[in-house]
Amino acid sequence: MAMNKKMQNKLNAQINAELYAAYLYLSMSVHFKEKNLNGFAAWMRKQASEEREHAMKILDYLHERGASVELKPIKSPMQQWTTPLKIFQEVLKHECHVTKLINDLADLADKEHDRATGVFLQWFIEEQVEEEASASEVVEKLKMIKDSTAGILMMDREMGRSASEQS
């Protein structure tokens, strides 16, 4: 059975959202690299890679269902922030936004009785729980650290280790 056009369009929009997230995290990685916070930079680069993988997963799914893929321009992300805390607050805010997009897709799949897409989206729903928890944990640690240079450097080292463990 062919995919509903509305679902196809929303999944295409989600590809764009995932690629924007990759672009946003890559921009954050560049920012951290320029500040010599290489652990944070590596973690963000890893996140950017994961977001690209998410986009490809949706793209492949559309192909499997015989639906059309339509790639739209990706908007430019912010490129400068004041503190690591501000960056991770932005990450958390963005992940909450992506969660809403995924939940909206799942709601549409239910409404359209598109069981295959509903099942497909379960992985993304679970992934978003992890993404929000991870970002929230970093935000809370950075709040504890405040402006401590030593604390930021310790977090940078921790984030670098975390990025290499995920590889």
Q: One-letter amino acid identity for 14?
A: Q
Residue spans of the domains in the chain: they are 5-166
**At the fourth CATH level, which superfamily is domain 5-166?**
Ferritin, core subunit, four-helix bundle (1.20.1260.10)
* CB 159, CB 43: distance < 8 Å: yes
Q: One-letter amino acid identity for 58?
A: I
Would you call 38 exposed, middle or buried from its count of C-beta atoms within 10 A (0-12, 13-18, 19+)?
Answer: middle
Give pTM, 2 decimals.
0.94
The string over 44-80, giving b where at least 16 C-beta atoms fall within 10 Å of a residue's C-beta and e elsewhere, is bbbbbbbbbebbeebbebbeebebeeeeeebeebeee
Nearest to 42 by CA among 159, 124, 120: 159
| pLDDT tens figures, 36-77 | 999 999 999 999 999 999 999 999 999 999 999 999 999 999
pLDDT confidence of residue 167 = 57
Nearest to 27 by CA among 14, 17, 13, 40: 40
pLDDT confidence of residue 154 = 96
| pLDDT tens figures, 78-109 | 988 999 999 999 999 999 999 999 999 999 99
| pLDDT tens figures, 103-139 | 999 999 999 999 999 999 999 999 999 999 999 999 9
pLDDT-derived band of residue 1, with 50, 70 and 90 as boundaries?
low
Q: Region 14-33: what's the mean pLDDT?
A: 98
Q: Is pLDDT larger for residue 8 or for residue 2?
A: 8
Q: How is residue 82 annotated by DSSP?
A: S
Average pLDDT of every residue of the chain: 96
pLDDT-derived band of residue 164, with 50, 70 and 90 as boundaries?
confident
Q: Please give the Cα distance from 76 to 147 (Å, whole number).
A: 29
Q: Is 73 helix (H, G, I), strand (E, B) or coil?
A: coil
Nearest to 58 by CA among 104, 12, 4, 108: 12
